[in-house]
Structures are given as C-alpha cells and as structure tokens.
Structure 1
Amino acid sequence: MKSLKCLIIFFLFFTISTAVTAAQLSGTVTNVSNLDVTIKVDGGLVPVKGDTLEIFFTLPDGESLSIGTWVITQVTGNIAQASVKENTGNPVTGQRAVISSENPSAMSVPGKKEDVASASFSTGSVYDQSGGIEQIISQLRSSNPIQKRDGAKIAYRIFYGDASIAAIAAEELEKGYMINHRDRHHVDAMAWLCNILGASNNKEYRPFLKKVYKNTKSDKINDYAKKNYKLLK
C-alpha cells in the first residue's frame, strides 16, 4: 500500500513538473530545402534539439491543416533547423509552425562572445536566401571601416531584427566604439551597428547601448547609441 502511494505521488509530481516545463512555441517557415525547413521562432523561448514541430497549411476559410511533423536538428538564436519525420504535404515559406518543447530554453543573449562563437551559418539555412550571408558576416568583422560600414548597412536592411546578426554587431561595436573617432568611415560603421542593435527588439542591449553613448567621444556614435537605446524600451 505504501509503495502504491509512493507511485501515485511520483506520478503526480512528474505530471505537474512536465506541465510546468512543457510549452508550445510558434514560428514561421523561412526556408525549405528538400523537405528540411528553417523556422524563425517567435518570442523569447526557443526549442532544443530533438523537439518536434508541426507545420500547418491554412485553407481559404481560415481552417488550419497539419501537413506533417519535423524534428529540430539545430538551434541558433531564434532560428531552428528541422528535418522531416513524416509529411502529407510539402512545406512552403510563410507557413505557420507549432513546436512542442518539453524543456524550452531562453534565447541566448546575443552579444556574448560564447554565443557568437557558437553561432552556425550553415548552407541551407535561412541566411543563404540573401546569396551572400558569409560575405556580410565577413564585412561586419572586417578591419576595413568601409567594408564594415557597408556590411552593417546590408545586414540592417536584409536581416532586420535577426538575433545572430545582432550578436555579431554587438561584438564589433564593443571593439570599436572607443577608437578611431577621426575616421568618418569607422564612425559611420559604429552608427550602423547601433542601428542593428536597436532593431533587435532585445531589451538586454539597453545597458550596453547606454554604456556606449555615455563613454564614446564621438558625437555621432553617441547620437545613434542613444537613439537605439530609446527604441528598446
């Protein structure tokens, strides 16, 4: 009898703890390659490798039909890669995805070196849609201020709000906001990096941008850091 009570207590504890940690996350299909998909996940929680997701086709009357199940294979920032498990239809970009995650994690705070170092920009990901994401990343990290400025402009316009691009921008801004203030190209590049952070919609960049505008000796960097700091209210 005592053993039965223990089993019941354990079952209730397991059920409650599972209910607390389990979550349904939403996202959008941004790329399809041989039935494998790239999903941009909404919100601050992200799935982990091994989680499953369903993709839905919306009928003209508004009803949604599942077209299959996929398994998460990789997560970088708010971008998840998934391989098909079983499907009754072919996914297309723009379709809604619902992810079942037993242990979702908070999205890594972009800007930390370990996050940037672990970011993967593999072939077939959403980034390849631009036809040159590797070049943009190379430009953002370039020691040439004109290259860095131009890369930041492109990144801001094409990858507006992208968490992984923002991580690289934060790293480069940290390196450069206190130096080379007489080089207008360098200053322009720093200003565009501030814009990328302001577009990230990540409030955790506020303290960093505040540090930038309070400490930089450049009026332009000060203005752009302060403007984007205010955007992240």
Structure 2
Amino acid sequence: MRSQVVSVKTAASNVPCTYQLPTSMNATGKVHGSNGGLQAGDIIGAALNNLQYLVRMPTGCGEQNMIGFVSSIIVLNYLYSTGNRQETTRQAALNKMEIDYQHALNYYHSDGSFSAFGDKDANGSVWLTSFIVKSFAQAQKHIYIDETVIERSVDFLVQSQLETGCFRETGTVFSSYMMGGLGQGWGWKKQDTPQGALTAYVLMALMEAGLDSSNQTINRGIKCLQRKLQVHKDRLDPYTFDHVGKH
C-alpha cells in the first residue's frame, strides 16, 4: 500500500495513479485486496445524514455538554450558509441548543467562571470558560443568550491575566478535546497548562465576545504570544495573530 501527499496550497492539485482493472468481478462487485479510493466533497453534508448521532440531548458534565452545544452551532451555520431548507434538522438543532444552554448554566460559578461540575469544583476553569464564552457569542445569532452571563465570564477571564500578559488556568480540565488535544489525560491540572496555548485560546474567545485589538487585555495577551513565539517558533501558528489583525 502506498500513500501520496496532495498539496492544497494551489487552486488545483492532482496525483496520477495507474490501476490494472480486473477482467471479471465477484458477486459483491469488488476484488478482494484490490485498490480503491474515496472522494468526499461535502463533509458536513454527510454528517447531516446521521444527525441523530450529532445532535443529542445534553448528557454528562459541563465539558461534555458544551461539546454537544457546539455541534448544534456547526449544523445551523452549515444550513444557513448553504441555504439548506431542512426544517426538521434546523428545528432539532435549535431545540437541542436551547436545552444545552440551560444545562450549561448549572456549571456557572458566582465569579462568572464555569467548571466541569459546577459548585462541586473549588474553582472555575479558564479553558472551559473561554470555550463557553466563544460558543455563547457564536450562538447568539441562533438563540437567546443572556448577555450578562457572557459579560461576567469575560470579566473572569480578564482577571485571570498575569502581569506578563499571559493567562493562567485556575481550575481543572478533564477533556483534552477542550484544549485542542493539548491535555495529557484525565484531570489536567492548572500547573500543567502551557501558557502560550492557553493565552491564544482566551484571546480568541475574548475577540469573539466583542473585544478588539485596541483593548488593553488583548494587547497584553498579544505581547505574551509574541514572546512565546520567539522561544517556541514551531509550537504556535499564526492563526490567532491573523484573527487579531482583522479586529
């Protein structure tokens, strides 16, 4: 078996392949062990055909609930951007999003933060709060989101910024997916958090919530990333910097 890399940097790319077609086929229409290929264009569209697995009722902790919440946002954004008129699908996603939103408030702390288990946790998580701020801001065009909740969560994130401009984790994260795969297992502690990655994550959330590059918190965060970028040039991509430049 051989694989080949197809460059996506240009408008058009191709990989020439030569196959010897069989002279006869078996009952299944396939030759065992033969070469094959799969072409997929509309990835999200394929997911809609199995929406019952993507749009589910809220379950689990605050982290698991929000992962499901974001799935509904993706579905709705896809439907609106493509002009898809699947009303049943749209309504199912809206209904689930509203339930997930109410469920998320169960994990809301008095200081504006969120955590996996709400008041059972001593402190809220900067990772999870950032994820929720960004998600709630994106969901506002679909359902009602209490603006006060977002504002208080933004205040919590701002207060979590260090004098260096970097952000610190204050709680515990259980899902590595919440951190873009940076976590190393169950119960990722605050002392284990890479500051550069967390700072980029928080900045994206704050900008999604309406803060722009003229904000002092954003500027200080950018300086933190610039320092981290000089030290770890292979670990930080320019996505956040590009996003900041557009704000």
Same fold (TM over 0.5): no
TM-score scaled by structure 2?
0.30
Question: Is the helix fraction higher in 1 or 2?
Answer: 2
| More strand per residue | 1
